[in-house]
Amino acid sequence: MTANGAIAAAIPPAAPAVAPAGPHPYDHLLRREALPHIWCPGCGIGTALGALVYGFEQAAVPREKRVVVSGIGCSSRVVFYIRTDAYHTTHGRAIPFATGLKLSNPGLNVVVFAGDGDLFAIGGNHFIHAARRNMDLLVVCINNFNYGMTGGQGGPTTPPGALSTTTPYGNAEFPFNLPDLAAAAGATYVARWTTLDVRRLRTTFAEVLGRHGFRFVEVLAPCPVSFGKTNKIGSGAEEMEYYRGLEVLKSRVESKEVAATDIVLGKPIVVGTFVDRARETFRDRYVRVVAKARGAGP
Residues above pLDDT 90, as percent of the chain: 79
**Which of 184, 208, 177, 196 shows the shortest CA–CA distance to 273?**
208
Q: What is the pLDDT of residue 261?
A: 86
- SS3 for the chain, per residue? CCHHHHHHHHCCCCCCCCCCCCCCCCHHHECHHHCCCCCCCCCCHHHHHHHHHHHHHHCCCCHHHEEEEECCCCHHHHHHCECCEEEECCCCCHHHHHHHHHHHCCCCEEEEEEEHHHHHHHCHHHHHHHHHHCCCCEEEEEECCCECCCCCECCCCCCCCCCECCECCCCCCCCCCHHHHHHHHCCCEEEEEECCCHHHHHHHHHHHCCCCCCEEEEEECCCHHHHHHHCCCCCHHHHHHHHHHHEEEHHHCCCCCHHHHCCCCCCCEEEEEEEECCCCCHHHHHHHHHHHHCCCCC
Pairwise pLDDT comparison (243 vs 14), residue with the higher score: 243
Question: pLDDT, tens digit, for every residue of 89-138?
Answer: 999 999 999 999 999 999 999 999 999 999 999 999 999 999 999 999 99
* Domains contained in the chain, CATH given: 27-293 (3.40.50.970)
Dist CA 234 CA 41 (whole Å): 12
What would the pLDDT profile of 187-229 be if each residue is shown by its tens digit? 999 999 999 999 999 999 999 999 999 999 999 999 999 999 9
| 136-147 pLDDT per residue, tens | 999 999 999 999
> Rounded to a whole number, what is the distance in angstroms from the first to the last CA of the chain?
100
pLDDT, averaged across the chain? 90
